Structure 1
Amino acid sequence: MTSAAQPPFSQPSSQPSSSQPSSSPYPFSLYPELDATALTAFVTALECGDVTGLAPARAAEVAEVRSVAVFTRGKVTGAHGDLLDAALWRHTGTGPRPVIVMPSPWTSLGWLPYAVQATLFALRGYNVLAYSARGFGGSEGEVEVAGALDITDGSRALDHIIERSTGPVTKIGFLGDSYGSGISQLVAAHDTRVHAVVALSTWGDLGEAFYENSTRHVAAVRALLAAAAKARLSPQTQTVFDNVLANRDVPGTLRWAETRSPFTHIKELNRRQVPVFFSHAWHETLFPPNQTLKMFNELTGPKRLAVSIGDHSGPEMTGMLGLPNRIWTDAHRWFDHHLKDIDNGIGDEGQVVGEVMWSKTLEPRPTWPSLTEHVERVYLADDGELVEEADDAQAGWTATVLCGVDTPATVADKVVESGYAEMAGRPKVYPTDDIDRTVAAVWAAAPVAETTRLRGTPRLRVTYRAANPGSSFVAYLLDVAPEGTAHLVTHAPYTDLDSPPDSLVSADIELQATAYDVPRGNRLMLVIDARDPFYGDANLPRATLAFTSPEATPSYLDLPLG
């Protein structure tokens, strides 16, 4: 991969195309901790060399990178000739070196959140190109949500940096956070020049992220729309998001999502054994971890998964601010190993590293299945208890839940933002005594005699009778202290749209994966209610769900223990 050196950027030939921005019910950012003013000052210093006002560490990075590379801002020509706002860190030497391309997150700031990390990659010897995805920031075009045009944009961005590298390009990496992570995986699946990927806070199956267990993720879609308030959504993108919120054309949305899901293209990644590093959060509210786990487990090439306390993009946020961050440290090590052939040990550290709630202990494991050493089954009993013996649970009991009423059991207080409180050691507290047992079914286990290490994916099987066509519920697994306050371990929604009225519905679902230590003296509590503002509600107002446990198919909860 060699070429003659060319000007750092092509010159813009036109202004960004105009279209109506997506409407937003409230101001919102997927990056609430990001200091755009400080990052803009950092970029300005990269251009002119004046580090006045920068923190000493940032000033030192600017001085060092300017001594070995040239930083420029400009435009990259993407699909259909649309100009994409971009930044290039280009070394002046003629020796061979690897390159990294960084498609932007889902934010009006475009590529700016990558400014510090791209500089750090440049200091490690990489040529780096960061660009704003089409429809965002200063880029032309419309937001296609990782569609065919976005994939072409990624390849055109790669062409751009190769053409402007002053020496031979050895290997190529794509790195993205959030939106850019999905684009990075898809470009790697379609462009055989890509050697390795880093995908932070990503998705594997977009359809499952939008419709988990057939349940609409309405809060997530509203958050995406709000965060894209200044973007230019394509008509198709706007229609799909509107359809999710209005509960229209589910098959059409799933077809749209399928082509935009890296999982759909996993055979190509596996054929070329592309190394992929994932980072995710246990309590992710935009892209729930199980759909990314599905992708991770099917990859056959080199792979690594870091799962942490927090929510979307939270675990990697301090790195974007320029602070020490283990996720970004591993991203650097991943590319150093796979793009520069440095034997730094990351390939021998196991495929998975999980941060345990709430001790923050890091646990490396060789594979995802190795997290779970054995599974303990507890049964839902008629007296509101979780019991270990099926005979103790009896059969035929009924626990009736009134629909249409919210309870204190909810996924989180806010999309994304609640995860920052978790990372700061202030997870949401659930007052279990305030959960009305007429609108929620509750089962509690006995206090644990010693710390119980939940590691892996819990599974719930429960039967219920719905009087009306269409029904849904949300199951929450809580860790309850002796005084009755609780923290959320994990949860999952469920929706049934096919069963006739007044029939028994058998729900067999996985709760979201977890690594959680239940302290001695605490107890696990399962709460099932019929309404949560994070999800679409398929129930009719004032309808009821009657949960039960038939003798032939008892209701139970499988707990993965480490």
Structure 2
Amino acid sequence: MSFDNTPGNPFALSTDDLARLEAIREGMLDPSPRRIGRLDQWGLADTYETYAEVARYTEVSITLPDGTVLDASLSVPRDLAPGQACPAVVLPAPLNNLGHRAYLGMFPRWTLGGYVVLAYSQRGLAKSTGEIQVAGPQDVADATEVINWLVAQDGVDPGRIGLFGSSYGAGTSLLAAANDQRVKAVAGTSAWGDLFASLYENGTRHLKAFEALVQLFDEDRCSQEFRDVIEKIRNDTIDDEVREFAQVRSPRHYLNAYNDAATPILLTTAWHETIFSVPAVVDLFTGLTGPKSLLVQVGDHGNGELSGLAGLLSKPTEMAYRWMDHHLGGSAGDGREPRFGIRSEYMHNLLSDLRHDDWESYALPRKRFHLADATAGERDGQMAEGLPQPGWARSVKATGRSTEAVVAPKLIQTGLAERMGLPHVYKTAEIDRGLAAIWTTAPLAQTMRVQGDLEVRVTVKPQEANATIVAYLMDCDPATGRSAVITHAPYTITDEQTGRATTITFPLQPAHYVLPRGHQLQLIIDTNDPFFADANTAPSAIEISSPQGAESYIDIPIDTLD
């Protein structure tokens, strides 16, 4: 996650937020009344005055064996007794031009909880030298060197080391823990489980999110290996080099290492995550056999922990403090035990807070809704339980133009609005039915909840060899014709014979959503979304059908709301 003000940066903080961070840094470096007093305008003077009384903050440089210099900051409790050693938490930076300074808001909680804190900017980021490796093997080796440097400092207990990171820092934290058994606990917010799955879903490139990340990395600072991969992804050359690049950077690839060491791992993600794959995070969580916790919140990448990184309250950071306290013996949290298993919010209720032991007990049994043709006088097909509905076909045009249905009008900001109770409104009644096929249920007789994994099966016959479709499940209010997105997924068919009908079955992103009584479930399938790369040749057409023996359906984990 980034905190710079680059134009178009979906993670950008306001000018006031940046000024606050700089004032915090100056007050920590020089805790004089004048510097600390500047923080009064944000109500932070007391916090950092107390911090200065109990800890010493310095900005340091860590020189690695190859000469690369990492920019870092260190906080050590004052007045330690001779031989006294504290737990330590290492914070690899998120993706930003502030580097380790992005975590300054968390330092008081960690320090007052008795931790030594070391935050650092990974190579190529902020003021650190070297080339950006994207949490590659070199970054993992760097993390080991950083820990070596840390445990050589006075007051650090080498047997109680934890890693905390957000986004890019979460990935590095997880990968470093797989390599270094000195790491006794990990908390990764807005984490990823599988980098390839995040870039390439159901054969479809997540091009908009990929380009946003590349812009934040700054290609000129990237390694040649990464620049080669960037060009291959742009050119849709998904070869063994790209797969290997992603695999070694995927925590899910190191499940055996986590399980052999029984590493305690806390993960957080979001239902409307547009950067990293949510199913891959769920798969990582499910595959862990040691102490583990998964939080899934309303919103998009980085939304949930943003206030916590600034020193305010957030579920991800509060859970991280408790997690480290429980496993390392500090007291940064509120004294409560951490939650194990799954903790979730449902869209769009930030006050919801559900707990389940595992994904199996979390996900509801799926019900099959068959897709049927439109009845006389209706323009949309039907979606209902009961018998399969074969024998119909609908054609949608691929023009290279998107419909009203899109994953998110804006990366990150759309999810942030969801967290504020303002989900994007889709005017699905106005969608051109020549560009999209739509199926709708009858109005719901009761309030219902969708909770878990979804799957779609349809038969498609494109006019051209390659074709992309995008499916969206919506919550539609029939009184207004307006909808909100529940979940989505793309699917791309490649190298098929022109005009050949192919039955495809693919998962949608998992969801947790409550539908009011009287609303309808609505499935939309179109051929273009600016969020994804588009394999369609425009203009062309794609026929969607339901042949005998391979009838079309959507499986939805749904039940009445208790």
Query: Judging changes above 3 Å, is the alpha-carbon distance between structure 1 residues 167 and 492 closer, same or farther for their aligned structure 2 residues?
Result: closer
Q: Which residue does the alignment assign to 1:184?
A: 173
Whether the aligned pair in 2 keeps the contact of 1:337 and 1:344 (CA below 8 Å) is no
Match status 1:77 vs 2:66: no
Instruction: Specify which of 437, 444, 447 is matched with residue 440 of structure 2.
Output: 444
Describe the superposition over 1:52-92 as per-residue Cα deviations: whole angstroms up to 9, x where unpaired: 22146522222222222210002112352200000001124
Partner amino acid, structure 1, of 2:343: V
Instruction: Specify which of 412, 415, 422 is matched with residue 408 of structure 2.
Output: 412
User: In percent, how many aligned pairs have the same letter?
Assistant: 35
Whether the aligned pair in 2 keeps the contact of 1:110 and 1:137 (CA below 8 Å) is yes
Describe the superposition over 1:395-419 as per-residue Cα deviations: whole angstroms up to 9, x where unpaired: 1211111112210000111111211
Helix, strand or coil at the partner of 1:512: strand
Deviation at 1:368, TM superposition (A): 1.5
Deviation at 1:538, TM superposition (A): 0.8
Match status 1:500 vs 2:497: yes
Separation of aligned partners in 1, 2:10 and 2:481: 34
Q: Which residue does the alignment assign to 2:554?
A: 557
Task: List aligned pairs for 1:424-503, cutoff 5 A.
Answer: 424-482=420-478, 483-503=480-500
Q: Which residue does the alignment assign to 2:346?
A: 356
Instruction: Specify which of 384, 387, 404 is matched with residue 387 of structure 1.
Output: 384
Query: Judging changes above 3 Å, is the alpha-carbon distance between structure 1 residues 263 and 79 closer, same or farther for their aligned structure 2 residues?
Result: farther
Helix, strand or coil at the partner of 1:81: coil
Whether the aligned pair in 1 keeps the contact of 2:203 and 2:491 (CA below 8 Å) is yes
Whether the aligned pair in 2 keeps the contact of 1:311 and 1:419 (CA below 8 Å) is yes
Separation of aligned partners in 2, 1:434 and 1:440: 11
Task: List aligned pairs for 1:254-273, cutoff 5 A.
Answer: 254-273=243-262
Separation of aligned partners in 1, 2:461 and 2:219: 45
Q: Which residue does the alignment assign to 1:285?
A: 274
Task: List aligned pairs for 1:509-548, cutoff 5 A.
Answer: 509-548=506-545
Q: Which residue does the alignment assign to 2:23?
A: 41
Q: Which residue does the alignment assign to 2:228?
A: 239
Q: Which residue does the alignment assign to 1:63?
A: 49
Match status 1:88 vs 2:85: no
Q: Which residue does the alignment assign to 2:419?
A: 423
Partner amino acid, structure 1, of 2:39: L
Separation of aligned partners in 2, 1:333 and 1:25: 34
Instruction: Specify which of 346, 368, 381 is matched with residue 377 of structure 1.
Output: 368
Deviation at 1:33, TM superposition (A): 5.6
Deviation at 1:166, TM superposition (A): 2.7
How big is the alpha-carbon RMSD for the aligned residues of Structure 1 and Structure 2?
A: 1.9
Which one is further off, 53-62 or 26-35? 26-35
Separation of aligned partners in 1, 2:447 and 2:330: 42
Q: Which residue does the alignment assign to 2:378?
A: none
Separation of aligned partners in 1, 2:511 and 2:64: 40
Number of equivalenced pairs? 536
Gaps of 5+ in 1: 1-23
Helix, strand or coil at the partner of 2:49: helix
Partner amino acid, structure 1, of 2:511: T
Separation of aligned partners in 2, 1:188 and 1:423: 31
So what's the TM-score if we normalise by structure 2? 0.92
Instruction: Specify which of 393, 396, 400 is matched with residue 398 of structure 1.
Output: 393
Whether the aligned pair in 2 keeps the contact of 1:29 and 1:227 (CA below 8 Å) is no
Instruction: Specify which of 135, 138, 158 is matched with residue 124 of structure 2.
Output: 135
Which one is further off, 30-39 or 401-410? 30-39
Partner amino acid, structure 2, of 1:530: T
Helix, strand or coil at the partner of 1:430: coil
Query: Judging changes above 3 Å, is the alpha-carbon distance between structure 1 residues 431 and 27 closer, same or farther for their aligned structure 2 residues?
Result: closer
Partner amino acid, structure 1, of 2:449: R
Partner amino acid, structure 2, of 1:548: S
Deviation at 1:272, TM superposition (A): 0.6
Which one is further off, 163-172 or 255-264? 163-172
Q: Which residue does the alignment assign to 2:185?
A: 196
Deviation at 1:321, TM superposition (A): 2.1
Helix, strand or coil at the partner of 1:209: helix
Whether the aligned pair in 1 keeps the contact of 2:193 and 2:277 (CA below 8 Å) is no
Match status 1:337 vs 2:333: no
Partner amino acid, structure 1, of 2:37: T
Query: Judging changes above 3 Å, is the alpha-carbon distance between structure 1 residues 57 and 338 closer, same or farther for their aligned structure 2 residues?
Result: farther
Separation of aligned partners in 1, 2:485 and 2:21: 35
Separation of aligned partners in 1, 2:357 and 2:66: 44
Describe the superposition over 1:353-402 as per-residue Cα deviations: whole angstroms up to 9, x where unpaired: 111112331111111121223211101111101011124x2x12111111
Instruction: Specify which of 314, 331, 355 is matched with residue 325 of structure 1.
Output: 314
Gaps of 5+ in 2: 375-380
Query: Judging changes above 3 Å, is the alpha-carbon distance between structure 1 residues 79 and 550 closer, same or farther for their aligned structure 2 residues?
Result: farther
So what's the TM-score if we normalise by structure 1? 0.92
Q: Which residue does the alignment assign to 2:287?
A: 298
Deviation at 1:113, TM superposition (A): 1.4
Separation of aligned partners in 2, 1:547 and 1:528: 9
Separation of aligned partners in 2, 1:112 and 1:414: 27
Query: Judging changes above 3 Å, is the alpha-carbon distance between structure 1 residues 344 and 390 closer, same or farther for their aligned structure 2 residues?
Result: farther
Partner amino acid, structure 2, of 1:448: L
Partner amino acid, structure 2, of 1:523: Q
Whether the aligned pair in 2 keeps the contact of 1:58 and 1:322 (CA below 8 Å) is no
Instruction: Specify which of 37, 40, 48 is matched with residue 52 of structure 1.
Output: 37
Whether the aligned pair in 1 keeps the contact of 2:88 and 2:156 (CA below 8 Å) is no
Separation of aligned partners in 2, 1:516 and 1:102: 33
Runs of 4+ in 1 over 6 A off after TM superposition: none
Helix, strand or coil at the partner of 2:313: coil
Whether the aligned pair in 1 keeps the contact of 2:364 and 2:452 (CA below 8 Å) is no
Deviation at 1:26, TM superposition (A): 5.3
Whether the aligned pair in 2 keeps the contact of 1:476 and 1:527 (CA below 8 Å) is yes
Describe the superposition over 1:128-165 as per-residue Cα deviations: whole angstroms up to 9, x where unpaired: 10001111100001111011110011111111111113
